Amino acid sequence: MPKGAKAVRPRIRCPDCDLAQRLPLRGPGHRLLCVRCRRLLRGRAPPPLEVPLCLALAGLWMWLIANVTPFLSLDYRGASTTSYLAGGVEALWEQGFYLLSSLVFFTGVLAPLLELACISALLILLRRGLRTRGLKLGLRFLTALGPWTMPGIFLVGTLVAGVKMAQMALMLPGSGFAALVALVVLWTSVHATLDFDALWELAGAEP
């Protein structure tokens, strides 16, 4: 830290009582509790970055497979067709539902790519010990993108649509469908293993 510079006291929101508070500036090896409900906010060991990084990189690979390989094969009264993950977006656009098509494309195709790629880049920077302006901008981008990334709801919606289609035609899931399921599992695992508040603390900034 440069001479005369003030240390940043990270601010964190308690997941139990929702109290926003500033953490004391202490190094690894200290347990930090919420001042209101005494919930554990920081353990003794610093959060590992390798696990969410590997999960995010694997998720990016599954995203690629899910988008370039056949998603579903449908057989209806002898007529068969093969669709891809972005096929629904294209169908909505051709029917004139431009706003809905754009929303489905963003939330179902683009948002997973943006979040997983951003998380991977940030974790690589942190592992290399780089504290750049882009690191803080990336964290703010993830915060803004958060409400649009709901992997659990995304998977449930896909399964519900699949069940409805299976009632009308013979549906055969393709490799893209399997990759999508793996993507959602990895995507959810990234959220479960990554402490976003700790990322702000490692970046030397606050939300």
Residue 52 shares a structural domain with residue 36: no
- On whether both 66 and 6 belong to a single domain, the answer is no
The 10s digit of each residue's pLDDT in 65-95 is 988 888 777 676 666 677 777 777 787 788 8
Q: Are 85 and 109 in contact (CB under 8 A)?
A: yes
pTM of the model: 0.69
* Residue 191 resides in a domain: yes
Whichever domain contains 54, its CATH number is 1.20.140
Structural domain including 127 reads: 47-202
What is the count of structural domains for the chain? 2
**Is residue 35 domain-shared with residue 119, that is, in the same domain?**
no
Both 54 and 116 in a single domain? yes
Rounded CA gap, 146 and 12, in Å?
16
Phi, psi of 17 (to 5 degrees): -105, -5
> Which of the four pLDDT bands, split at 50, 70 and 90, describes residue 21?
confident
In a domain, 207, yes or no: no
Task: Give the count of alpha carbons within 13 A of 156, CB side only.
Answer: 5
Is residue 136 a contact partner of residue 205, using CB atoms and an 8 Å limit?
A: yes
Q: What is the pLDDT of residue 76?
A: 66
Are residue 103 and residue 152 in the same domain, yes or no?
yes
